[in-house]
Structure 1
Amino acid sequence: MKLLLSAAFLSLTILKVHSVAVVCYYGSWSAWDGITPENFDASLCTHINYAFISIWEDGNLRVEDDELDIDQGLYKRVTDLKNQNPNLKVLLSVGGDSAADLFRGMAGDASKRGPFVGSATYFLSAYNFDGLDIDWEYPEVADQDNYITLLKELKAAFQPKGWLLTAAVSSDTEHGYLISEMVQYFDFINVMTYDFYGPWSDYTGQNSALYSSNVESDWEKSHLNVAAAANNWVNAGVPKNKLTIGTGFYGRSFTLSDPNNHGLHAGIIGPGNDGGEATYAHICSTYDGWTRVWDDEQKNPYRYSGNQWIGYDDQDSIWAKAAWIKDNGFLGVMIWAIDQDDIAGVCGEKQILLKQINRAIA
């Protein structure tokens, strides 16, 4: 009995010790499906990024869902997780994949940047956030100077209050990023090393492979995997201690053009029957009867059944990624998104992917 208790205590201790950062994005809309902050073990993250708040045309921050964020108190319920984990930092993430034009119009106009900075200060103070995360997908070359001006003004307002300023950036450095200047203002940068392949691709491929495959082109090998993309950001001038490297708790699916050709770079006719994307919780509970293949070259699994194919991450591949991130000296692991994990433990251990990351970096 004592041995069992000791083992349980050791396991718990491993999960609570963070040798590297664990940045957990939370898609707040999942609360409508019952995945609320009360479902999460706050000790498993060093940072939680609340996604998203948006932007009005005049530059002020715009609450995305008044009923959820304000009336149901979701902002406060997330920041209250700091009562469970006093070391936790909770950031408000602004933007998302449909906010590029709003960012562009605001950053390029001083009369809009002022309200943006002022309203950000209000929201962080009013709801006990610890900083702001800029999720501009993606600045163009014409936006470079305006992006840096926005960062300078945010940093000037945040620094006296001790607030963090971070960003989510593309896995590809070849966007409108003045990287040598960006790095001066951000406390750290979250690299979105996922969505490497999807229904927009010409053939099957992994959402977030750790390494390249021998079937890929030279460009794909140097861009469409976690290791290459992370190192591209380092080579562009960002220190490893300012980079968190992304992992996806979801997969990308395809409909095969020939069910007998079901490997990597197999021909496709479109997205899978699930719309082209599925959470880990859905994959592990619904696709369990599909054939699973472990690709030891890319360190990722995929599954297929008939003309359906999905590339995704499971507890084995997530472990490999987190261990690689730690062993290569990066600041930490970033997750999109913790609400896509097996929160209820339908397939076994609750929050298994997030726990695997914690075990790998301990």
Structure 2
Amino acid sequence: MEKLVILLLVCIGAFGIANVYGQSKKIVCYVGTWAFYRNGACQFDVEKHITQNFCTHLLYGFFGINNDGTIRLIDPDLDLDQEWRVGYITKFQNLKLKFPGLKTIAAVGGWNEGSKKFSIVAASAELRKRFAVDAREFCLKYKFNGLDMDWEYPADRGGNVQVDKQNFVELLKEIRSEFDKSKLILSAAVGATEFRGEISYNIPLISKYLDFISLMAYDFHGPWNDSDPYGGFVTGLNSPLYVGPTDLTDREKQYNVNSSLHYWLSQGAPREKLILGIPLYGHTFALVDPNQHDIGAASNTAGTAHECLQTGGAIGYNEICKELEQWTRYWSKEQKAPYAVKGNQWASYDDIKSITLKTQYILDHGLGGAMVWSLDTDDFIGVCGNGVYPLMNTIYRILNNGQTIPPSTVPPTTAIPTTTWSTQPTTSTTTPAPPGNEFKCSSDGRFPDPKDCSKFYVCSYNIAYHFTCAQGTLYNAKLENCDYPQNVDCSQVESK
């Protein structure tokens, strides 16, 4: 009898282990849709470049929120497919035909959308109800399987410090009630650290209403770090796994994956609902002294902008992996993360080794899966010698017991046709705005080039992309598109 009990306990224990390691894990993948406007090898088109079935949930980033409680198309020229528009939503949804079982989710918010409008809507019972109803109708209209709330952040950045934390709960409760009518998914991306959680989230209650919670366990350090004694910045790792030797204060000891996860667990978040965010990009700094390049070294500004992201202080894995032979690479044994130095440039990023450790960490802690920001900064065309999507392949392989990513099971020809982007007379080519370019984006949208009637700018998330109309056409500001010359008034433009 005693042997039978022992055998039973062993079987139960083995089953428990198998249940943690063998259960289906989520792989939640964001796409920054503005990457469609990037040039050359940097351009990311979901139709062309999502060729493998590595995501369980694919998130369309982003849609906005209006003060009246409705969802806003931030870039309708990209999102919609009428006439000359790109039809990116349709391209996105066609992936479900290519990869059966894939769930697509509309992400609302993001850093640029800020907090104020979310705060206004969440403060009113009437607006909360309107948003919940509109969100359900939006998902059904555009064939999304659910909504991702990316409010950055409740009680901060223009929000209401006193009431946002509780109002966020009330907003999620209202959405949950509405979404249950159509069996829609409701998720949220949240700031990961303890100080963010205390300000912004009632963790037990938001966990009640959300299907899963994506911890944004990155941006712990960047070229905004606290000043060094000489008035500049200090270098730090974007997404370290553990506390490091330069983390001396209580606040600094929160800036890592492990501390963040254990805070959320201690506050009652169910581990199976927690999805660990993994960045496929890094942050860069310019060093004050190239000879002083350890973690915590003095920096006076953000690092140089690169070809794809075109933003100082940020670098995609697809950018740095091409250059690594020119950099000196280092590995933090304490924090389990790489960094690299080239002259006065200092970069923190994630690579195959660090992502292997983070993905194994997900299994070891019984979490619900991995989230990535974002697919368009992995090496999605395979220029760095490790095949296409080396980071995503690493995550998939570890979460799926060493299996490789299965190919598409449905021919792409079954997809719903979309409007072609490059049809006459709307054909145009794009280049990054040139260095020193004086054009500044006042808002997202299309704007004529004030110096050349054959050119125009597309502003997306504060970056201006420069387009040239096809030969024989000019930019029609009224139509916001390239058109035949007889239809265009160039009197206000100094044509070249």
State the match for 2:349 in structure 1.
312
Matches of 2:51 and 2:398, distance apart in 1: 17
Partner Cα separation in structure 2 for residue 41 and residue 217 of structure 1: 44
**Letter in structure 2 aligned against 1:113:** R
Q: Secondary structure at the match of 2:326?
A: coil
Contact 1:222 1:229 in 2 (8 A): no
Match of 1:134, SS state, is strand
Structure 2 residue aligned with 1:27: 32
Aligned mate of 2:389, from 344, 351, 361: 351
Tell whether the 8 Å contact from 1:107 to 1:147 is kept in structure 2 after alignment. yes
Matched, 1:114 2:135: no
In structure 2, distance between residues paired with 1:241 and 1:53:
27
Partner of 2:204: 180
In 2, the alpha carbon distance for the partners of 1:211 and 1:36 equals: 35
Q: CA deviation at 1:36?
A: 1.3
Indicate whether 1:360 and 2:406 are aligned.
Answer: no
The AA in structure 1 aligned to 2:223 is: P
Identify which of 287, 296, 300 aligns with 2:337.
300
Shift of 1:74: 1.1
Residue of structure 2 equivalent to 1:12: none
Q: Match of 2:102?
A: 88
User: Mapping of 1:25-104 within 5 angstroms?
Assistant: 25-33=30-38, 34-38=43-47, 39-71=49-81, 72-97=86-111, 98-104=113-119
What letter corresponds to residue 128 of structure 1 in structure 2? K
Secondary structure, aligned partner of 1:333: strand
**One-letter amino acid matched to 2:394:** Q
Partner in structure 1 of residue 277 of structure 2: 246
Selected match of 1:125 from 124, 136, 140: 140
Give the superposition deviation at 1:42.
4.6
Q: Which amino acid aligns with 2:37?
A: W
Q: SS in structure 1 opposite 2:264?
A: helix
Where does residue 170 of structure 2 map in the other structure? 149
Give matches, 1:235-274, under 5 Å: 235-274=266-305
1:113-171 alpha-carbon deviations (Å, 9 max, x no partner): 23322221222111211110000011014212221111111011101211111000001
- When the two chains are superposed, the root-mean-square deviation of aligned CA atoms in Å is 1.5
Gaps of 5+ in 2: 1-21, 156-160, 226-232, 306-311, 401-496
The one-letter amino acid of 1:82's match is K
How far apart, CA to CA, are the structure 2 residues paired with 1:68 and 1:107?
28
What secondary structure is seen at the aligned counterpart in 2 of 1:162?
coil
Q: Secondary structure at the match of 1:325?
A: helix
Aligned position for 2:320: 283
Matched, 1:229 2:260: yes
CA distance in 2, matches of 1:99, 1:115: 20
Post-superposition offset of 1:84: 2.2
- Higher relative helix content: 1
One-letter code aligned to 1:159: D
1:54·1:99 contact (CA, 8 Å) conserved in 2? no
- Counterpart of 1:44, as a letter, is F
Instruction: Provide the rounded CA distance (Å) in 2 between the counterparts of 1:218 and 1:101.
Output: 31
Are residue 190 (structure 1) and residue 211 (structure 2) matched? no
CA distances 1:242-281 after superposition (whole Å, capped 9, x unpaired):
1001110111111111111111111111211121011111
In the alignment, is the contact (CA less than 8 A) between 1:18 and 1:358 conserved in 2? no
Query: Alpha-carbon deviation of 1:231?
Result: 1.3
Q: Is the 8 A contact 2:133 2:175 kept in 1?
A: no
Higher relative contact order (CA 8 A, sep 6+): 1
What is the CA–CA distance in structure 2 between the aligned matches of 1:247 and 1:210, rounded to whole Å? 10
Aligned mates of 1:299, 1:220 — CA distance in 2: 20
* Residue of structure 1 in register with 2:489 after alignment: none
Distance 1:230 1:78, change over 3 A: same
Distance 1:361 1:184, change over 3 A: same
Matched position secondary structure for 1:57: coil
Q: Distance in 2 between matches of 1:229 and 1:281?
A: 27
Fraction of identical pairs, as percent: 39
Query: Which residue does the alignment assign to 1:335?
Result: 372
Report 1:166-177 matches (<5 A). Answer: 166-172=187-193, 173-177=197-201
List runs of 5+ in structure 1 lacking aligned partners.
1-16
Quick one: distance in 2 between partners of 1:307 and 1:128?
Answer: 48
Report Cα offsets for 1:191-215 as digits up to 9, x if no partner: 0000000011131111001112122
Between the aligned partners of 1:331 and 1:73, the Cα distance in structure 2 is 32
Q: Considering only CA atoms, is the larger Rg found in Structure 1 or Structure 2? A: 2
Equivalent-residue separation in structure 1 for 2:313 and 2:126 (angstroms): 41
Inter-partner Cα distance in structure 1 for 2:127 and 2:252: 41
Distance 1:344 1:18, change over 3 A: farther
Contact 2:247 2:253 in 1 (8 A): no
Residues 248 and 313, structure 1, Cα contact 8 Å, conserved in 2: yes
The number of equivalent residue pairs is 346
Change (3 A) 1:18 1:45: farther
1:193 corresponds to which letter in structure 2? A
Give per-residue Cα distances to partners, 1:33-63, cap 9 Å, x unaligned: 2311121135101111111000122111000
Q: The residue matched to 2:223 in structure 1 has which SS?
A: coil
Letter in 2 for 1:276: G
Distance 2:268 2:188 in 1: 16
Query: 2-side partners of 1:208 and 1:18: how far apart?
Result: 26
Q: Which of 164, 185, 190 pairs up with 2:185?
A: 164
TM-score (norm 1): 0.92
Aligned to 1:8: none
